[in-house]
Structure formats: structure tokens, C-alpha cells
Structure 1
Amino acid sequence: MSEEQKPTIINQDQPTQTWFSSWFDTPYYHILYKDRNYREAQIFMDNLTHYLNLPEKAKVLDLACGKGRHSIYLNQLGFDVLGADLSENSIAQAAKNENDTLQFKVHDMREPFEEKYDAIFNLFTSFGYFENDEDNLTTLKAIKESLSEYGFAVIDFMNVAQVVNTLVPEETKTVDDIDFYIKRYLKDGYVFKEIDFEDKGQKFHYIEKVRALTLQDFETLMEEAGIYLLDIFGDYKLKKFHKTESERLIMIFK
């Protein structure tokens, strides 16, 4: 193969750019995860909003909203919703669905909002992305500052113990005729996922990297942030959390 024929390698794990700001802004992220169970997610939000007993037209912040699918559903439930995400491309897509009670904006979760919210949802493991652990504390403080006096916040995170016990080291997923080669491993306190694929003559390499935060880690962070952890659930049906068996770590706090 000549130099001209060799596929270009797009490597997005450079230290100058955070993995989430590059990977989430590509169309390939949404292709790979297009088959996520959104009905299950809607049932989760039904259960969650019922449990929190949110008033009609409550102001809800969907923090790290992606393309806004869940913000849209929360709005359909009757809430006044703001979806916020760092990805400009995702917000541009989400903004096509805006109405009087549904808005979207580009926002870094480490920064508090001027407006106060009755509920703040950080869903589907959208926490623990930062290189600096201090940023996780900063994010919790920003969430606290953005809550109304009687507001509640929810972080829906992976249950690290269950993830590690069931980790699939390697697999190939074919979506839209693209073969995604995926490797998973635990290293230096992070759960890594390396994603390699080729499309249109280019080779791509991306890394997902999430801090392996346990319930104890969150409790320590929340205490330091002055946050009160009210309840813990282990799945989207809001069943009791079991340290080794639960699929999720869902924390309700204020």
C-alpha cells in the first residue's frame, strides 16, 4: 500500500484535548450507542419524578443532556426543562426541539447556574470524566449552588463493583456497517474503554475514561461539598442498592 493509499489515523486521546469534548462531538458516538434502551430510561424518569413528587411545571435541569432525548421526555411529563451539555454539536441538534418550556444550552457542569432548579438530573454515568479529582468536587458544589431551597438532585452512576465483576475485556459491535472494536479495562482508578474503527478510508481511535467512584467515594465528596445524601437505589425501578449486585448507583441528595 502506498503512502497515498494508507488510511488516515484519527487519534483522539491526546492530552491537549479531553476525551469527552472530542468523542461526544463526533457522529460516531451517537452511532455506536444508538440502540440504548430509551424506554427503560423513560420508565426510570417516570419512577424518579414520582418518587421526588415534583410539582407541576417544576424547573428541571438535565445536566449532560447529550442530544436532549431525556430532556424532551421530561418536558412531555409537564416540567419546565433546561438541557445542558458541553458538546456544541449535541446542543445544536437538541435545540431543534425547543419550545416555551424546553431550552438547551452549552454549559460546563463545573460551573453553577444563575437560575435555581427544583430538580437536577445527572443521568447515565455522566460524572467522573475529569483528569483532576478536584473537578468532581467542584461539580458537586456547582449542582448544590444551582438547586432551589427545596430542590433535589440525582446522580445516576455505574455501580463500579458490578461493572468490574462483569467487565467484557474485548468485543466487536457492528452498527451501520461500521465495525467498532472495543476494549475495556480498569487502570489507575478509572474504567477505560478503547474504541477503534475505520470509516471512509480513515482509522479512528477514541478512549472513554470514567473515574471508578464507589458509594464511599461519593459519600466523602458529598460531605466535603456540604451535600445531604437522602436515598440510594440500585436500578431504574428504584430497588434497594446492593454493593456487588446492583446495576446502578442512583443517589438522591440535596
Structure 2
Amino acid sequence: MTKETKDWYSSWFDTPFYHILYKHRDDKEAQAFMDNLTSYLNIPQGSSILDLACGKGRHAVYLNSIGYDVTGIDLSEKSIAFAKQFENETLHFEVHDMREAYPKQFNAVFNLFTSFGFFDDDKDDLKTITSIKANLKEHGIGVIDFLNADFVIHNLVKENTKTINGIDFRLKRYVENGFIVKDISFEANEKPYHYQELVKVLTLKDFENMFAKANIQLLDVFGDYKLNKFNKHNSERLIMIFM
């Protein structure tokens, strides 16, 4: 059975199977979220936005299409190679580790779609928060769009199978050692594969503690992509606005 030994996010995100499994993501919902967010934040057109852990660039491309100067960075070389086809004078992509500050400051930094909480060491989470702070211009706004751990754990689907492009992805979910774990097993090209996704169980209080250490001011907290107020019991998302 094929199982990568390096950090799970370095291996799984760089495979074509990751993009097959999540090919049905709702782009309309993502675009509506960007419209709601940029409107709420009152970000003028032409402002600079850093899309932190941008993947293949779906949020960055849309933000650029509605008038923003966008830089997308991600650790996945293959995702960035794919995203580069969309580059123009106001849209750029680069391989970069989000634990390290990017050598430029922005009007806003967006970390979207649960692209946080992957690291074993808590210090790396704080490094990411500190890097976001360093990448913000004076009066710049940061956004972290994370899962609501309380809601996810309470509503965890322990096992299911998704068949996509003829591949049966067998998914198992559980909580272990402070992480929400998703085991992903499947066969492709007559070979068995096994990957994992691990997202740290981080609550609003955990983020507040990190923000305090990084001298960040939390401005508002929303619970979904329509920007309804956050409720720890009922909200699917934990969307934090800060500076």
C-alpha cells in the first residue's frame, strides 16, 4: 500500500487524487463568500490581497476578477504550477511556506477553507499567525476561515464512501491526539493508496490565545459564509476578522 512518509499535507495536497476527491467543491458558494467578505471589509478595488495557502487558486482567481491585486502562495509545487496559468499583471502565484512571512505587505491576508492547524507543533501555528501579522500593512485586515471544531466533532460522519472518476474513496473520520483525522483509502491504476488529513482541534479560545501572543486584535467572528454571527454549537465555520 502506498503511503507517503513526509508531512501529510506535503504529500496529499500534491497528488492528483486530492483534487479528484474535492473536485465538486461549490465555487458559487466560495465566490459568494468572497463577495460578502470584501463588501463587509470595505476593501477598495485595486487593494492588495495575500491568499495564504491558496491551493490551485480558485479564491485568488476570483478575487482578481473582481478587481484586486492578488498574490497566492502555497506549499504545494503542483498546485502553484497549475495556478500559474491564470497569472497576469495583478495576479501572481508562488511556492511559499506560510510559517514564514512573505517579503511583502498587503491590505488584507486571507487564509481560507480550513488551511490552518495542520502542524504537529503548536509553535508552528503561532508562527503562521505571526507571519500573517507581519504581512499586513498598517490598518490591514486578516481573515482566517477555519472549521468550527465543536460542530464538526458533534456531527462527525464516521465512515462513508465517495465514488468520483471511477475511484471509490473510502473515508473514515475520528478524533485522535488533538486532531480531527480523516483516513482516505482507495485503489487507482491497480495500486492501493492511503492518505490522511489531520486538522488540529482549535477553538475560538485557542485562536484568541494565539492572537494575544502575536499582538493581534480580534474584530469580529462569523459562523458561515453568509457572515451570520458565530455560535459554537450551531455554526459550521469559525471565520475570524482581525488586525
Looking at structure 2, the residues matched to 163 and 156 of structure 1 have their Cα atoms a distance apart, in angstroms, of 14
SS of match in other structure, 1:203: strand
Partner of 2:104: 115
Looking at structure 2, the residues matched to 94 and 102 of structure 1 have their Cα atoms a distance apart, in angstroms, of 10
Which residue, out of 216, 233, 237, partners 1:244? 233
RMSD over aligned CA atoms reads 0.5
Which residue, out of 210, 233, 236, partners 2:222? 233
Does residue 92 of the first structure (1) align with residue 81 of the second (2)? yes
Which residue, out of 19, 44, 62, partners 1:55? 44
Partner of 2:182: 193
Does residue 10 of the first structure (1) align with residue 2 of the second (2)? yes
Looking at structure 2, the residues matched to 25 and 133 of structure 1 have their Cα atoms a distance apart, in angstroms, of 24
Looking at structure 2, the residues matched to 200 and 105 of structure 1 have their Cα atoms a distance apart, in angstroms, of 31
SS of match in other structure, 2:173: strand
Looking at structure 2, the residues matched to 199 and 87 of structure 1 have their Cα atoms a distance apart, in angstroms, of 22
Partner of 1:36: 25
> C-alpha offsets along residues 55-88 of structure 1, whole Å, 9 cap, x if unaligned?
1200000000000011000000100000100000
* Matching of residues 204-215 of structure 1 within 5 Å: 204-215=193-204
Pair member with larger Rg:
1
**Aligned residue pairs: how many?**
243
> C-alpha offsets along residues 178-200 of structure 1, whole Å, 9 cap, x if unaligned?
00000000111100000000001
In structure 2, stretches of 5+ residues that fail to align are none
Which residue, out of 180, 184, 200, partners 2:169? 180
Looking at structure 2, the residues matched to 50 and 174 of structure 1 have their Cα atoms a distance apart, in angstroms, of 37
SS of match in other structure, 1:134: helix
Looking at structure 2, the residues matched to 128 and 249 of structure 1 have their Cα atoms a distance apart, in angstroms, of 13
SS of match in other structure, 2:2: strand
Looking at structure 2, the residues matched to 113 and 32 of structure 1 have their Cα atoms a distance apart, in angstroms, of 30
SS of match in other structure, 1:237: coil
Instruction: Supply the AA of the counterpart residue of 2:185.
Output: D
SS of match in other structure, 1:223: helix
Looking at structure 2, the residues matched to 90 and 56 of structure 1 have their Cα atoms a distance apart, in angstroms, of 26
Looking at structure 2, the residues matched to 56 and 11 of structure 1 have their Cα atoms a distance apart, in angstroms, of 44
Looking at structure 2, the residues matched to 157 and 11 of structure 1 have their Cα atoms a distance apart, in angstroms, of 27
In structure 1, stretches of 5+ residues that fail to align are 1-8
Q: After the TM superposition, which parts of structure 1 deviate over 3 Å for at least 4 consecutive aligned residues?
A: none
> C-alpha offsets along residues 150-171 of structure 1, whole Å, 9 cap, x if unaligned?
1000000000010011100000
Looking at structure 1, the residues matched to 230 and 23 of structure 2 have their Cα atoms a distance apart, in angstroms, of 28
Partner of 2:146: 157
Looking at structure 2, the residues matched to 236 and 53 of structure 1 have their Cα atoms a distance apart, in angstroms, of 16
